[in-house]
Amino acid sequence: MNPENRVEFTKEMQDYTILAPNMADIHFSILMNVLREYGYNVKLLKNDGRAVVDEGLKYVHNDTCYPALLVIGQLIDALNSGKYDVNKTALLITQSGGGCRASNYIHLLRKALRKAGYGQVPVISLNLSGLEKNSGFKLKPSMALKALSALIYGDLIMLLKNQVEPYEVNKGETNRLVDKWIADISAMFKQKKGYSMREMKRILPEITKSFADIKVEKVPKVKVGVVGEIYVKYSPLANNNLEDFIKSQNCEVMVPGLLGFFLFKTDNRLEDIKLYGGKKLKKIAMTVAMWYLQKIETMLNTAAGAHGDFCVPAPYAHIKEKCTAIIGAGCKMGEGWLLTAEMMELIESGYGNIVCAQPFGCLPNHIVGKGMIRKLKELYPQSNIVPVDYDPGATKVNQENRIKLMLAIAQEAL
């Protein structure tokens, strides 16, 4: 679609309802509150089920990657629901700016909207690469800092929640604490607090202590790691509530955080400059960004180990060094070598039973996921990895049966 023909989100549209597809519940809940703080009336979509898939299939070619089909299906299903005035509604979607087709979802979405009769609905691109701009939506520096902080807080809360919830004595206590921290962090942001490095250094260990104070009964459980394409890994819509299913099988689940992905994407820019050359200013900017993210990573990991007996993520530099011994750093489309690295880290951290979520149509994910399992099995004979395909034709029963078979092997080993 010609950029000149797109419907721009203008300053006159500030009172519009903005619909956003969901991915990582904890992170996005804080992120939506940040956007609301800046005057945007954002709604995080939770609609799911077969209707979403069918809407996606109706307007997106079925050879396109499954995440695109679901995101577009969820947004159009929401517009069809009658809950929103389609003449006063906008859609929000992220663009990574990399080689992944995720950067083109926005064009597929606009095409789908025209076909569905919603050509008047503006689509806002949330990106850091300057791909698209809208006069009515500005990513201010303070908003960007709060958004990044929301992801850091989300990573820590998710990490601790997953390690406490399976063992809690008082059922529901962990989820209540999660909700409390989402509300508290959002309130701090509103008061212009909680997102400086100094404040985060104080608050992050407080979060850890609050989870460490929950009464638990540690009993042996199978520990399961989840990796895969970023959307399918986190989104309950995409992975058929994978985390809830694993927990229902009396297991503990571990999902790597989003910060590693941000480090990976920033590091890729430096790798490109190293391999192909580039502007000096860009190299300086990416070097500073990498330094800042690694400082935050150290702070996050230190906080995770400050109280209790929690499993602390390995530093990005460490997993890159280990992984690039078996797969090149130039393998960076989609999740690239990071997906393989996350499997290695999970195995070494005691989460050697791994579900690798493979979305249909994501070629890079199949190469660095399913394609690396045999090599990982050679390095870690005790590992127990199952690739599970997620696509419009895959049934939940078949997916869960594959996981149950992996868990049966894990239970025997336990």
Share of the chain above pLDDT 70, in %: 96
Same structural domain for residues 360 and 232? yes
Q: Which residue range forms the structural domain that includes residue 364?
A: 222-257+313-413
What type of residue sits at position 281?
Answer: L
Confidence of residue 6 (pLDDT cuts 50, 70, 90): confident
Least confident of 31-45, 73-87, 88-102, 397-411: 88-102
In a domain? residue 80: yes
* Alpha carbons 408 and 414: distance in angstroms, whole number: 10
Same structural domain for residues 125 and 232? no
User: CA torsion sign, 44 to 50 to 55 to 60?
Assistant: positive
- Among 107, 132, 157, the domain-final residue is 132
Same structural domain for residues 93 and 232? no
- Among 82, 103, 132, the domain-final residue is 132
pLDDT tens-digit series, residues 168-220: 999 999 999 999 999 999 999 999 999 999 999 999 999 999 999 999 999 99
Average pLDDT, the chain: 91
In a domain? residue 142: no
If one counts the domains in the chain, the total is 2
Question: Which H or E run contains 299?
Answer: helix 280-304
In a domain? residue 148: no
| Residue 137 DSSP code | B
Taking Cα atoms as reference points, which of 100, 65, 95 lies closest to residue 390? 65
Sequence-ordered list of residues with C-beta below 8 angstroms from that of 393, at least 6 positions apart, any chain? none
Same structural domain for residues 229 and 126? no
In a domain? residue 268: no
By the 8 A CB rule, do 209 and 306 touch? yes
Any idea what the CATH number is for the domain that residue 86 is in? 3.40.50
In a domain? residue 81: yes
In a domain? residue 322: yes
Confidence of residue 301 (pLDDT cuts 50, 70, 90): very high
Same structural domain for residues 235 and 126? no
Least confident of 129-133, 238-242, 324-328: 129-133
Same structural domain for residues 244 and 358? yes
Same structural domain for residues 107 and 226? no
* Alpha carbons 71 and 69: distance in angstroms, whole number: 6
In a domain? residue 273: no
pLDDT tens-digit series, residues 59-109: 988 778 888 899 999 999 999 999 999 999 999 988 665 666 556 778 889
Any idea what the CATH number is for the domain that residue 252 is in? 3.40.50.11900
In a domain? residue 183: no
Confidence of residue 164 (pLDDT cuts 50, 70, 90): very high
* Alpha carbons 292 and 197: distance in angstroms, whole number: 10
Same structural domain for residues 365 and 236? yes
Same structural domain for residues 114 and 252? no
pTM (predicted TM-score): 0.92
Same structural domain for residues 7 and 108? yes
Decide which of 35 and 134 is more confident: 35
- Among 80, 98, 132, the domain-final residue is 132
Same structural domain for residues 243 and 384? yes
